[in-house]
Amino acid sequence: MKKIAFYFLFALVFTIPWQGIVVFPGLGTISRLIGFASIGVALLVILFYKKINEIPIVIWLMVLFVIWNLLTYFWSIHPPRTLVRVVTFSQLLAMVWLIWELCETKRDGMIIMQAYILGAYVAIIDMLVTYFTGAGQSFRIAATGFNPNWLAISFAVGIPISWHLMFKFHNKILYIINMLYFPLAIFCIILTASRGGLVTALIASSIIPISFLYYGRSPKFVFALSIIIILAIIPLLSTGTFSNLERNIERLTETTDMVREGRMTGRETIWLTGFDVFSENSLIGVGSGGFNRSVELLLGSAVSAHNTYLAVIVDTGIIGFLLFMAIIFVAIKPNNKLPIHDRIFFLIFFMTLMIGLIPANLEANKVTWLVFAFLTTQTTLLFRNGKIVQIYKE
């Protein structure tokens, strides 16, 4: 029974990176449907074994965050939107709990992380087909049903995961899959022309030179680095094949100038307006999911925050923001018992998320909460009988 539940969980995480490609009218994305099925099977497992894992502090913080979002309904600037957002957060909380409950060993956690990489390949293939067939309607290419910025950040999140797993599994096929993910993800991020995605990918890619300190003499490291260098040179030698990327590269190379000059493609106006709204509703916010409506009164149009931290603090005030940040930092609570390469991986993984939340509002995105779950299942320490102990055995 537990194996069946774990297979459903694997399928759920596998579909998340490409959920927008398959959508059932009136029902939602494929990952949503599998998510409901996974929760149902997990509940049957709990009823059968009459046992549930001890809930870690970080999940209790998530519960409090969802409850606070629900409370904001009573003063929300847009109550219907708040209810929708609370339902979404509740589903994301259930997903995190599901991963926590079914991943009983660190290896289980790594298998679920591998599912994310395999799922990302579906989105990558979709993008490559669009690019090489010329089916894209814009120079900014994304997988079907995805926002280019969100997709680029989700690809960046996978970079430290794939590099970490490359040294963990001994299967040669998985080694090749994880090794090739980096160059393919970078290429797809270029296709999206997402500046935020590029910056996030640069942070994520730091795991490669840093891992040289402890994997430098490993044949896996040397071979992977050689292949990546060769694949990076190929586009330079095949200008005809990749000749239509000029606009993408030009847009990406403007990133440093924009940051230096304070030009953020209109985001600065949105952010300043958001801070104005926050100053008037600093403690309790305007209501979960209410950012768009709150700035519409000042800007004349409803626009998203393009920044997770700003969206959370405007929506839920200081109280909600502190709960959200507590979730992030408790999830990465250092585990000194982990090997140094594992600690470095989780630190870079954590920083990738922190940077990725800056250029996009991803507080209600599955990938964000999936990262919370990965960090929780692999690094969290629990209090039991007044002592700090690890829940997972190798």
Strand segments, DSSP code E, in 313-384 are 381-384
Phi and psi torsions of 381, nearest 5°: -105, 145
Residue 4: the pLDDT is 87
Buried b (16+ CB within 10 A) or exposed e, 56-73: bbbbebbeebbebbbbbb
Cβ atoms within 10 Å, residue 230: 10
Report the distance separating Cα 288 and Cα 70, nearest Å.
8
Q: What is the pLDDT, as a whole number, of residue 162? A: 94
Structure tokens at 358: 């800056």
Q: How far apart are CA 57 and CA 78, in angstroms?
A: 31
Distance CA 276, CA 271 (A): 9
* Cα Dmax for the chain: 66
List helix spans (H) across 193-307. Answer: 195-205, 207-215, 219-237, 246-253, 255-261, 267-280, 291-299
Please tell me the distance from the alpha carbon of residue 185 to that of residue 179, in angstroms, as a whole number. Answer: 11
Phi, psi (deg, nearest 5) at residue 341: -70, -30
Contacts 24+ apart (CB under 8 A), 350-355: 350/375, 351/203, 352/156, 352/157, 352/159, 352/160, 352/200, 352/203, 352/204, 353/157, 353/328, 354/328, 355/199, 355/200, 355/203
Distance CA 21, CA 348 (A): 29
Q: How far apart are CA 296 and CA 359, in angstroms?
A: 20
Q: Block means of pLDDT (10 residues each) for the chain, length 394 residues?
A: 85 92 81 85 76 82 96 93 94 91 84 95 93 79 87 95 90 92 92 91 92 80 83 65 74 68 66 87 90 84 87 94 92 70 87 91 91 79 44 44
The pLDDT assigned to 115 comes to 96
Distances (CA, A) of 298 to 270, 276, 291, 292: 10, 9, 11, 11
> CA-CA distance, 102 to 167, in Å (whole number)?
23
Instruction: Return the structure tokens found at 389.
Output: 């102990």
Q: How many CB atoms lie within 10 A of CB 279?
A: 9
* Whole-number pLDDT of residue 180: 93
Task: Report the pLDDT value the prediction gives residue 394, as an integer from 0 to 100.
Answer: 44
| Residue whose pair of structure tokens reads 């958001």 in the numeric block | 274
For the beta carbon of residue 31, count every other beta carbon within 10 angstroms. Answer: 23
Token pair in block for residue 239: 């200008």
pTM comes to: 0.89
Q: How far apart are CA 379 and CA 381, in angstroms?
A: 7
Q: Are 93 and 62 in contact (CB under 8 A)?
A: yes
Tokens of 341: 């390469």
Block residue for tokens 């929300």: 76
Judged on CB neighbours under 10 Å (0-12, 13-18, 19+), 308 is: buried
Q: Give dist(CA 278, CA 59) in Å, integer.
A: 27
C-alpha Rg value of the chain to the nearest Å: 21
Cα 106 from chain centroid? 20
List the beta bridge partners of residue 384: 387
Report how far Cα 214 is from the mean position of its chain's Cα atoms: 26
Cα–Cα distance between 372 and 255 in angstroms, integer?
28
Tokens of 280: 């008037």
